Chains A and B, each alone.
Chain A
Amino acid sequence: MNDKKNIDKVIAAILTVPEKKLLLIQIVNSIPIKNGEIDYLEIQKRTLEINLAITEAKIYSVHTMQAVDALLRLRSKKEV
């Protein structure tokens, strides 16, 4: 298999990955900005929800890094 085929396969695989809407991003977008900073009083009120969202984001990051790592390990092979 040549490089082009490899790349096509990777792209096809990535396209099958379902869209992920992280709760953390939704929360961040819903909290108002106060004095140039996310309103920390609001964050304190929603601690439980935010802890869950942070855990989800961290797991997502770990999985993403694993995927990136796998891609980096792919080596181009010479065409036969």
Chain B
Amino acid sequence: MIDQNNRAALESMMTSPVYDEQISVRPEGGWPLSMLADMLKVGPPLLTEIIKSMESVKDTEKFVNLVQMLLPEYENDIMSAPRRRRVYKFCFYFGKKYYPLPANMDCPPAEWGNNMPVTLFGLSYKEYHELDMRPGYLLMLSLVVYPWEGDDRDAQDDSVPFNPAAFGNGTKKWKPKASDIEWLKALFTSLKINDHWIAPMGFEMVKVSANEFKLTNAADNPDVKDTIARTLLVAEKLGIKATFIAGKNAAEKTTAARIPLLDKVQDIVGAETVRKIPKRGWEPEDLHKMTDGTRFEGVGYFADWACGQTGCTILDSSYEDCEWVEGMGEPLFKWTKRNIEILTEQWPKTQEIRTKIDKMAIWLEQDQANHFFELVNFLMSHKVKPTHKDRMGFYDRGDRACCLDQFSDEDEEEENDGTE
């Protein structure tokens, strides 16, 4: 569910803001045919509609309260409109007074009052790795540092963050003593299948069968590497098979994270241009320094977006950074003055950033190989020493947490307790 929402967020982000403007709610008269259709629908109300209005009285009350709280000056105008057009009018006046709401005309007024519609545009960890983006975005992304440096998701996968078989040239000369062999034999015999033995220095052994163990959760330090290499030699003497997934440490993985991206970009623009890009990419601050005020303005803002540091909530947060109520298809945002103030204040900057990014993406896409070559040459000509922020191990997912007021499972529980 989160992934689907994040995909939708990226699709929305990659859509030109000009398109959003086109589909936004407009003054009456914008859609004469739909208005005519409304007017032609006359006659006695359907029994089902009457029942619905009676049953949803609490939701209706919420909608009226919402109008009174946010748009008291338009209350009569909104509420005197036919039911189907009330949300439309609400969105129109809201857009005039605050910021344009993501339009969802299919949502009945009764349900509209429950949750505030918010579309997030943040780049998620999964979408970064999926690399399913429009070319302009991929090209700009290849210039930016890996935004999730130090994220525990990258450190989790590789349980042995080096290759024990390739390590320990010095250990090869080492011969196990009888006491070493006896010790491992005794340990292995004492373990039952699936038992874990945790070595105090920082690795784990799991007995997976009568003559096999698995190495896991190994720390990346010379002592552990040395001990593992010796253990493997002893195990070999005993005829015990040792299995492990030889992985990478977090630093290697961070560098490696950009490789699929650079490969993809190479397919678009060729190896020559990609070879010029610094291995680690540039920090957003460096890209700002180099491109702001130039014809390449937008690249720095793109880097801010990719790293979740634009300062605009809806650009910086993705759906994995929200609270989720169990069973709901999307996060539920509250209609609070605080939420509205935040989004209203950030709206002009949000639009400005999206417009600049879109302009740059369009320009790159007009002649992908040549324009990107031009951009990379421009960046390299600055000879700016890339800022190196040591973020290893310090990535805090909370930095991207959506700061808007949301419903949580606790709210649901409280509501249920209240109704019992």
List CB contacts (< 8 Å) of B93-113 with chain A: none
A-B pairs with the 7 shortest C-beta distances? A35-B79, A36-B79, A36-B80, A40-B57, A43-B57, A40-B61, A40-B60
Find out whether the CB atom of B60 lies under 8 angstroms from the CB atom of A36. no
Query: In the complex where A35-B76, A36-B81 touch, is A57 in contact with B60 (Cβ < 8 A)?
Result: no
List CB contacts (< 8 Å) of A29-75 with chain B: 35-38, 40, 43-44, 50, 53-54, 57-58, 60-61
Q: Is B274 an interface residue (CB 8 A)?
A: no
Find out whether the CB atom of A24 lies under 8 angstroms from the CB atom of B54. yes
Find out whether the CB atom of A54 lies under 8 angstroms from the CB atom of B64. no
Across the interface, A43 reaches (CB within 8 A) one of B54, B64, B76, B86, namely B54
Across the interface, B75 reaches (CB within 8 A) one of A35, A38, A40, namely A35
Q: Is B390 an interface residue (CB 8 A)?
A: no
Find out whether the CB atom of A50 lies under 8 angstroms from the CB atom of B54. yes
- How does the 8 Å CB contact mask read for B22-55 relative to A, with 1 for contact and 0 for none? 0000000000000000000000000110110111
Q: How long is the Cα–Cα vector from A60 to B50 in the complex, in angstroms? A: 14
Find out whether the CB atom of A54 lies under 8 angstroms from the CB atom of B54. yes
The residues of A that contact B54 with a CB separation of less than 8 Å are 24, 38, 43, 50, 53-54
Across the interface, B57 reaches (CB within 8 A) one of A24, A36, A44, A53, namely A44
| Shortest distance from the beta carbon of A79 to any chain B beta carbon, whole Å | 37
The majority secondary structure among interface residues of chain B is: helix
Find out whether the CB atom of A24 lies under 8 angstroms from the CB atom of B80. no
Which residues of A pack against B, CB within 8 Å? 22, 24-25, 28, 35-38, 40, 43-44, 50, 53-54, 57-58, 60-61
The majority secondary structure among interface residues of chain A is: helix
Q: How long is the Cα–Cα vector from A57 to B49 in the complex, in angstroms? A: 12
Query: In the complex where A35-B75, A35-B76 touch, is A24 in contact with B50 (Cβ < 8 A)?
Result: yes
Q: How long is the Cα–Cα vector from A43 to B50 in the complex, in angstroms? A: 12
Which residues of B pack against A, CB within 8 Å? 47-48, 50-51, 53-55, 57, 60-61, 64, 75-76, 79-81, 86
Q: How long is the Cα–Cα vector from A29 to B48 in the complex, in angstroms? A: 16
Given A37-B64, A53-B54, 18 other A-B contacts at CB below 8 A? A24-B47, A24-B50, A24-B54, A35-B75, A35-B80, A37-B53, A38-B54, A40-B64, A43-B54, A43-B57, A50-B54, A54-B54, A54-B55, A57-B50, A57-B51, A58-B51, A61-B47, A61-B48
Find out whether the CB atom of B47 lies under 8 angstroms from the CB atom of A37. no
Find out whether the CB atom of A54 lies under 8 angstroms from the CB atom of B51. yes
Interface centre among A24, A37, A44 (most CB of B within 10 A): A37
Find out whether the CB atom of A37 lies under 8 angstroms from the CB atom of B79. yes
The residues of A that contact B86 with a CB separation of less than 8 Å are 36
Q: How long is the Cα–Cα vector from A75 to B335 in the complex, in angstroms? A: 55
What are 12 sample pairs from A and B whose C-beta atoms fall under 8 A apart? A24-B47, A24-B54, A35-B76, A36-B79, A36-B86, A37-B79, A40-B60, A40-B61, A50-B54, A54-B54, A54-B55, A58-B51
The residues of B that contact A60 with a CB separation of less than 8 Å are 47
Across the interface, A28 reaches (CB within 8 A) one of B50, B55, B57, B60, namely B50
Q: How long is the Cα–Cα vector from A60 to B55 in the complex, in angstroms? A: 17
| Shortest distance from the beta carbon of B333 to any chain A beta carbon, whole Å | 24
The residues of B that contact A44 with a CB separation of less than 8 Å are 57
Q: How long is the Cα–Cα vector from A38 to B54 in the complex, in angstroms? A: 9
Nearest chain B residue, comparing its CB with the CB of A39 = B57
The residues of A that contact B64 with a CB separation of less than 8 Å are 35, 37, 40
The residues of A that contact B55 with a CB separation of less than 8 Å are 54
